[in-house]
Structure 1
Amino acid sequence: MREFSVPVLVDVPLSANCTDVVFQRGVDEPDAVVIRRKEGEDPAAPWTPVTAAQFRDRVAAVAKGLIAAGIEPGDRVGLMSRTRYEWTVADYAIWAAGAVGVPIYETSSAEQVKWILTDSGAKAAFVETAAHEETVREAVPGLPLLWRIDGGGFAELERLGADVSNDTLAERRASRGGRDLATIIYTSGTTGMPKGCRLTHDNLLFTARNVSRGPLEALFDVEGRAALLFLPLAHSFARLIQVVLIETGTVLAHSPNMKNVAPDLREFKPTFLLGVPRVFEKVYNAAEQKANAEGKGKIFHAAVRAAIEWSKAESSGGAGLGARLKHAAFDKLVYGKLRAATGGALTAAVSGGSALGERLGHFFRGVGIEVFEGWGLTETSAPSTVNIPGANKIGTVGKPFPGVSIRIADDGEILVKGRHVFDGYWNNERATKEAIDPEGWFHTGDVGRLDEHGYLSITGRKKEILVTAGGKNVAPAPLEDAIRAHRLISQVMVVGDGKPFIGAIVTLDQEAMEQWKQANGRSGASMAELCSDPAVVAEVQQAVDDANRMVSKAEQIKKFSILDIELSEDSGHVTPKQSIKRHVVARDFAKQIDELYGG
């Protein structure tokens, strides 16, 4: 059993709550720009600055409306919207009114919405669009209070709260402290209905302050610091980063439409970015395809090799003269253009959710955009470990942040302890007792290892370990992460539990395939035809072969099947954070899986 702990750096007082910084900065730095926002979704629309005083006043006005509407301390309020300025306003207004935010993915079905709002006992909800309002009214017809962001909901609340005094709002804010519930975040749930994770104000503040003043301090201590959020704020990862950005005074912007992220990056010019591995894979793949289409594929791949070589050398004492010269040459030819595509100011990003992979990690560092991988769960207020500027061990998810202890149990499961660990599952004491042992260790269900310096590596999920007919234990996640990095592949699920060998089912990235068809003279081919196209099969085989090199022969994928559909949220096969619902995929594609084994 190996254990590693990092001492607390910032001891947050239990009297603090998440709204303190908003109201204090509104007094101390009223004219400081804290947010930039766009009206509507026109990519050409200007970024309008929002000062600390303006943000405080908007939060206060909406919070007063909530109080006037009858929201009491501890009441739960749903929030169903894309990532946008109003999401952040509503989130902090709910807290300022003493209430508890319950985020809902904007892609959620009526059944999911019904479960979350009824299980949490929500008294009210914010929705973004008319379609969201229709979903909520269908799911919970008797919900007492509902405000639509795009239907004048904020204005309605501001009128309603016009007679609520500042003293009343101050009293309501002061009634909440660190031990009080801040939010209930429902886990995506790859199996069964999601469980509500109770996170307190202290969970969020302790995590945000110890991360931002500890391992990632260098990212939030730069002139002109700014960050663009586009991941769903309904997920704990983006939600915690939002708190970090507000706490540190980093200028925050939102990009609600994924189609506009590229132009938003160029115009907003962030210094910091939050992403999941699929985002970085798509950036790389788009650059590679563009270079190939322009006949510059050889130059691009040479630049990739040089970036990786330079980064690996930097990890082991520094690059030699030859590597530095090649790196400098390609910086002008290739790397500078990639940085320009992100606005030209981006130097760092944090990635989580699944493994980025060493190759991409070294590539981006070589390009000049260092990606710091972290790890955690909703139950741990998002992060538990993260890599550190100046000590980024690519291929790991870093060390525990200050105030966190990590232990590897005898069976390889990762256990976590610290003030960032959640308060338990809402309405589910049995699940809480199963997750947190009498010593206070949270059993994460992830499997991994700690090295002698405290760096953590994730090797799989305890419940997802496959056992072949020959008795070989196989962790599917590393194989899946490696294959998914291929430019033409969108999803992959490794199978083989109780079977004679390991197999996989694969889906193709439809956007990437459109470009591939044009480049390979297959413009008229259907997706079904492409799945059996020898050239496409060869590409997938290469990705599988590359992944197989990481594991023993008994763990290698022997056969795969390419599906002619996308595994997505809409199809019900993927969670909002892009995790595969293994039981659903196994059920819906049982025939294809059986055929791998001659069934």
Structure 2
Amino acid sequence: MSDTQTPIENRPPSVAALFLERVAKTPDAEAYRYPVPAPSGQGPDEWRSLSWGQAAERVFAIAAGLVDLGVQPEERIALASATRVEWILADLGVMCAGASTTTIYPQTNAEESAYILADSASRVLIAEDAAQLAKARERRAELPNLAHVVVVDPAGADADAGDPEGWVLSLAELEERGRAYLEKKPEAVKDRVSAITADQLATLIYTSGTTGRPKGVRLPHDNWSYMAKAIASTGLVTSEDVQYLWLPLAHVFGKVLTSGQIEVGHVTAVDGRVDKIIENLPVVQPTYMAAVPRIFEKVYNGVAAKARAGGGAKYKIFKWAAEVAREYARTSQDNFRRTGNATVPFGLNAKHKVADALVYSKLREAFGGRLRAAVSGSAALAPDIGYFFSGAGIHILEGYGLTESSAASFVNPGEAYRTGTVGKPLPGTEVRIADDGEILLRGPGIMEGYHGLPEKTAEVLEPDGWFHTGDIGELSADGYLRITDRKKDLIKTSGGKYIAPAEVEGQFKAVCPYLSNVLVHGADRNFCTALIALDEPAILGWAEEHGLGGKSYAEVVATPEVTQLVQGYVDRLNEGLQRWQTIKQFRLLPRDLDIEHGELTPSLKLKRPVVEREYKHLIDEMYAGSRED
């Protein structure tokens, strides 16, 4: 099966060229909002704005500063920083200099940062602060190509006696150099932009990967130019929108949103501090935002926990309202699919109105009150959670893409979205399902290849342009894609049955309000087991109400009461599964899985081999004494 849509014609060769067009069109319109923390953290942040014209002044200064440092077209400039407005300005500066950005997650340790810097042969590192500078200093002997480190926030990033002269400079100093350079050569940046070709390297993103060394994905300028135009052509966003952008910009999902914004010209409020999301939403009042499923799961669990803490009556109302939301969403989506009209029966509509007044309206206010839609990507969203939000008036449009496909290959089409699917291909992207169920993609968003790894490129990219995603899925007759699992994550029991662990895990996320992370295991075994990590605030709240207050998370999850609680949710999960999918045993983990221990990728995906290796003793314990041993 294949689905081809109208290609995106007449796109300029680069997002740098698109940026110049945007600045010329609307120089005085607001482009970015960003927070400035109050002195000593006293009081709320002050939000400031940059117009497109003001942003361009800084972008040009950064670009010219890099040119003055001797940076040549396609040379790599690494960017190690959390999501903040300077990340976007620096990335645009790199692209306008004709160079290419190598993205590094700020959480990456010194060893892996050095590997990425060396493998990419990055000439300059733009580091967020003293901590990122320290990683480069620690490994400087391994980085002969690294000529300069530019520090965004120079507090504490003092010159070191061991530094080569001029090795460290602040972003402000780089911009100052750039402005001086532009006084002598005012057309320097525009000349660099006009010389960029579509196939020139724009971005090198290292996949965080679940095994082995990360691979550098080479994304030329045309990938981003295509994405910008394709996103705009969906009509999902308009120039009147306000986007709240907190996703890691080192990840392709965050990065693609910056391209779409430049083409459409709407406002983006930028703040990567995840702990500030709940506080920021009522201030920013976004009309759309993108997130990973974990955020929606956390919001859902938080709302459920709050209702539970309000007493039995409140919790009963919440559970009733959640079921009404799911029924409302399923019915309206089914009717829209059949008739093009999202109507629901009178009785259900009446119940929904009551539930809206009691529960959903408060939930929408927590999101700022103006959210038209949220885009979810990077991993599968449990359908029951998607239906809950849909019925509550927070429309989650799931999308799909990979680093290798510049992130946005599929997205659900506005009103016609279908929970549980990732929607339709973007215009110009083709999709085919291989005989073994693997999703193949072809189009202008597909990478050039893996940096310096021709054999690895040949494994996934066919000569005629078809890219092997490694994901298993199915297409509906009208072109909606449903992802069923990662090809390599499908497990086969010793009884010969295939199981998609992500599907079982997704169902459990919707069933158990205390869940944070779960890993289903069963490859070559005669039954399935699970490793379960609970959401700390939610389970400690439960513990407080059940005579277990004052205990740590590890102590609480070790109690028989919590094991019994989770067993009840596992039993409920098993009722809806095929016999061979059911979870026969589980173990509660003494702490949640996290990025720092290498168990989750920076986009919060589970690294199965790492978790299975770390908790092998618990897995072995669950199978001890079974007939297979």
Tell me the TM-score range normalised by the shorter chain: over 0.9
Structure-1 separation of matches of 2:506 and 2:170:
42
What is the CA–CA distance in structure 2 between the aligned matches of 1:479 and 1:139, rounded to whole Å? 43
Task: Give the counterpart letter for 1:4 in structure 2.
Answer: D
Do 2:540 and 2:553's aligned partners in 1 also have CA atoms closer than 8 Å? no
Task: Work out whether 1:459 is the aligned partner of 2:459.
Answer: no
In structure 1, what is the Cα distance between the partners aligned to 2:524 and 2:479?
35
Q: 1:306 aligns with which of 321, 324, 349?
A: 324
1:579 and 1:145, CA in 2 relative to 1: closer, same or farther beyond 3 A?
same
Judge conservation of contact 1:354–1:481 (CA < 8 Å) in 2.
no
State the distance in 2 between where 1:228 and 1:365 align: 19
Q: For 1:193-208, what aligned pairs fall within 5 Å after superposition?
A: 193-208=213-228
> What is residue 409 of structure 2 aligned with on the other side?
384
- State yes or no: 1:34 paired with 2:34: no
- Bigger mean CA offset, 239-248 vs 226-235: 239-248
Name the residue aligned to 2:586: 560
Contact 1:233 1:239 in 2 (8 A): yes
Please name the residue that 2:15 is paired with: 18
Q: Displacement of 1:12 after TM fit?
A: 4.0
Q: What aligned pairs does 1:265-414 form with structure 2 within 5 A after superposition? A: 265-295=281-311, 296-317=314-335, 318-414=343-439
Q: Does 1:115 align with 2:115?
A: yes
Q: Which amino acid aligns with 1:354?
A: A
Q: Find 2:238's aligned residue among 192, 207, 221.
A: 221
- CA distance in 1 between partners of 2:564 and 2:196 (Å): 59
RMSD: 1.7
Q: How big is each residue's C-alpha offset from its partner over 1:508-538, in whole Å with a ceiling of 9 and x where there is no partner?
A: 2223223222233311223333223333223
Is 1:144 matched up with 2:119?
Answer: no
Match of 2:524 among 495, 498, 503: 498
Taking the aligned partners of 1:40 and 1:86, their CA distance within structure 2 comes to: 15
Q: 1:550 to 1:120 in 2, by over 3 A?
A: farther
One-letter amino acid matched to 2:410: T
What does residue 446 of structure 1 align with? 471
130-139 vs 32-41, which moves further: 32-41
Describe the shift of the 1:158–1:301 C-alpha distance in structure 2 as closer, same or farther (beyond 3 A).
same
**Distance apart, 1:220 and its partner CA:** 1.4
**Which stretch of structure 1 is more off in the superposition, 337-346 or 296-305?**
296-305
Correspondence for 2:170? 153
**For residues 93-104 of structure 1, what are the structure 2 equivalents within 5 Å?**
93-104=93-104
Mapped partners of 2:187, 2:433: distance in 1: 50
Query: Do 2:238 and 2:266's aligned partners in 1 also have CA atoms closer than 8 Å?
Result: no
Q: Which amino acid in the other structure matches residue 384 of structure 2?
A: R
Q: Does the alignment pair 1:432 with 2:430? A: no
Paired residue secondary structure (1:548): helix
Deviation digits for residues 189-248 of structure 1, max 9, x if unmatched? 10001111111111112122112212xx1x31263x101111111100111012112221
| C-alpha contact (below 8 Å) 1:100/1:182 kept by paired residues | yes
Q: CA deviation at 1:550?
A: 4.7
Q: Separation in 1 of the partners of 2:276 and 2:213?
A: 32
Deviates more, 1:466-475 or 1:372-381: 466-475
Moved more, 329-338 or 517-526: 517-526
Q: Indicate conservation of the 8 Å contact 2:227/2:259, yes or no.
A: no
Distance 1:147 1:362, change over 3 A: same
Where structure 2 has 5 or more consecutive residues not aligned to the other structure, the ranges are 155-168, 336-342
Structure 1, unaligned runs of 5 or more: none
Cα deviation, residue 5, structure 1: 2.3
User: What are the superposed Cα offsets for residues 384-404 of structure 1, whole Å, 9 maximum, x if unpaired?
Assistant: 111111211111111111111
1:189 to 202, 209, 224: 209
Question: What is residue 81 of structure 1 aligned with on the other side?
Answer: 81
Deviation at 1:69, TM superposition (A): 1.0
Give the secondary structure class of the aligned counterpart of 2:77: strand
- 2:328 and 2:493 mapped to 1: Cα distance? 40
- Give the C-alpha shift of residue 131 in structure 1: 0.8
CA drift at 1:140 = 3.5
Deviations, residues 305-325 of structure 1 (Å, cap 9, x unaligned):
222222122112221111112
Q: Deviations over 1:322-362 (max 9, x none)?
A: 11122222222221111111111112000011111221111
Distance 1:139 1:482 in 2: 44
Aligned partner of residue 166 in structure 1, secondary structure = coil
- The amino acid that maps onto 1:208 is A
Aligned partner of 2:325: which letter?
A: A
Q: Could you tell me how far apart the structure 2 residues matched to 1:326 and 1:266 are?
A: 27
Q: AA paired with 1:399?
A: K
Distance in 1, matches of 2:430 and 2:334, equals 27
Query: What's the offset of the Cα at 1:546?
Result: 4.2
Query: What is the identity, as a one-letter code, of the residue corresponding to 1:19?
Result: A
**Percent identity between the two aligned chains:** 40
Give the structure 1 partner of residue 563 of structure 2.
Answer: 537
Work out the CA distance in 1 between the residues paired with 2:239 and 2:122.
Answer: 40
The corresponding residue for 2:611 is 585
SS in 2 for 1:432: helix
Q: C-alpha displacement at 1:266, in angstroms?
A: 0.8
Alpha-carbon contact 2:65-2:181 (below 8 Å) kept: no
- One-letter identity of the residue aligned with 1:228: Y
Q: Secondary structure at the match of 2:388?
A: helix
Q: Distance in 2 between matches of 1:418 and 1:139?
A: 39
Which amino acid in the other structure matches residue 226 of structure 1? V
| Partners of 2:187 and 2:576 in 1: CA distance | 62
* CA displacement at 1:16 relative to structure 2: 2.4
User: Partner of 1:163: helix, strand, or coil?
Assistant: helix
Q: Which residue of 1 aligns with 2:551?
A: 525
Q: Is the 8 A contact 2:208 2:602 kept in 1?
A: yes
- The 1-side partners of 2:65 and 2:572 are apart by 57
Q: CA deviation at 1:413?
A: 0.9
| SS of structure 1 residue aligned to 2:231 | helix
1:588 to partner: Cα distance = 1.5
1:508–1:564 contact (8 Å) kept in structure 2? no
Further displaced range: 456-465 or 94-103: 456-465
| Residue deviations 1:35-85 (CA, integer Å, cap 9, x gap) | 111223757122212111101111111111111111111110100111001
Please point out which of 448, 460, 479 is paired with 2:504.
Answer: 479
By how many angstroms is 1:138 displaced? 1.5
Q: TM-score, normalised by structure 1?
A: 0.96
Q: Deviations over 1:239-294 (max 9, x none)?
A: 10121122211201112211111111110100001001110111111111112212
Query: Is the Cα–Cα contact under 8 Å of residues 274 and 349 in structure 1 kept in the other structure?
Result: yes
- Which stretch of the first structure deviates more once superposed, 22-31 or 277-286? 22-31
Is 2:132 aligned against 1:129? no
8 Å CA contact retained: 1:80, 1:132: yes
Q: State the alpha-carbon separation in 1 of the partners of residues 77 and 384 from structure 2.
A: 43
- Offset at 1:379? 0.4
Answer whether contact 1:18 1:201 (CA < 8 A) is retained: yes
Range 15-24 or range 372-381, more displaced: 15-24
Would the alpha carbon gap of residues 549 and 186 (structure 1) be closer, same or farther in structure 2, given more than 3 Å must change? farther
Question: In 2 relative to 1, CA 562–319 (structure 1 residues): closer, same or farther, beyond 3 Å?
Answer: same
2:239, 2:266 within 8 Å by CA — same for their partners in 1? Answer: no
